[in-house]
Structure 1
């Protein structure tokens, strides 16, 4: 009887650990999505007349990044189309992603967008912490950078094949 109780306790503990570990990744993604949506909503209400809408731009960018992390071609295309519609300054680069024929091409165009957004963030004030990440294996070993709202690496260039590949190179906070 003791063995059965001990076995049941071990199974329950393992199940709880597995559940919390699986939920942790979803919780982190949900928290990042909530931060992006809050940034876009707050800034749209406060600064509708401003031409440069950096927080909204970061939100559009993060939706593209997250879709690439998930290896989701259609979600990447859809997120880029939203950026095309709402961000005239970066519409050309976002359109290159939206009109790409596959994930490889989307990622090549995302590299260009990442460099431009990084420069824009450094030239303007932001009210959040961003991480400038680097993956040496991206682009066939050429390497590539991207921005993230969380310190944990979620690589948009390697996708689900190697989501944790890379490292934080710079923490941006203005």
Structure 2
């Protein structure tokens, strides 16, 4: 009788742990996909040199990150810090500097989690010596905007 009880307890424990593991995975996938379009919004605003739009889009990213579970996004604090600096800044050059840090953290997140069903392109600017993410292969440089719009290249495709 004790053996049967022990076996039932072990089986129940296995099912409960599996259920929790699936829940955590589902929560991570539900929170992270929203981040990439917000990041792209910041990038696109910097490409066009629109300081106010970059600050606004970064503010939306901060809001989404604040609503996300810190356990599901491992580098959430770094993302929050750089997005917050972009949101608070009214200087395009400073925003572009902070974007380099934001991009480093987003690249790490994109490689650790599936952020999109579509390919994500990691770009590199040799002048800035910094990377960024894009949804398209065409280079549109957020670090120099119209001054050097096509400076850069695709270095990796993250699927």
Q: What's the TM-score, normalizing by structure 1? A: 0.66
Asked if the contact 2:33/2:114 (under 8 Å) is kept, the reply is no
The whole-number CA distance in structure 2 between the counterparts of 1:113 and 1:66 is 14
The equivalent residue for 2:55 is 77
Instruction: Give aligned pairs, total.
Output: 122
Residue 56 in structure 1 maps to residue 42 in structure 2: no
User: Deviations along 1:69-115, whole A, 9 cap, x unmatched?
Assistant: 00000000000011111112332221011112411110111000000
Q: Which has the higher contact order (CA 8 A, sep 6+)?
A: 2
Greater Rg, structure 1 or structure 2? 2
SS in 2 for 1:50: helix
> 2: distance between equivalents of 1:51 and 1:166?
32
Match of 1:114 in 2: 103
Q: Runs of 4 or more off by more than 6 Å in structure 1? A: none
TM-score when scaled to structure 2? 0.72
Provide the aligned C-alpha RMSD in A. 1.7
Other-structure match for 1:7: none
Q: Structure 1: state its 5+ residue gaps.
A: 1-48
In the alignment, structure 1 residue 68 sits paired with structure 2 residue 56: no
Task: Measure the CA separation in 1 of the matches of 2:60 and 2:89.
Answer: 15
Q: After the TM superposition, which of the residue ranges 119-128 and 146-155 deviates more from structure 2? A: 119-128
Q: Secondary structure at the match of 2:27?
A: coil
C-alpha contact 1:100 1:106 (8 A) present in aligned 2: yes
User: Is 1:145 paired with 2:131?
Assistant: yes
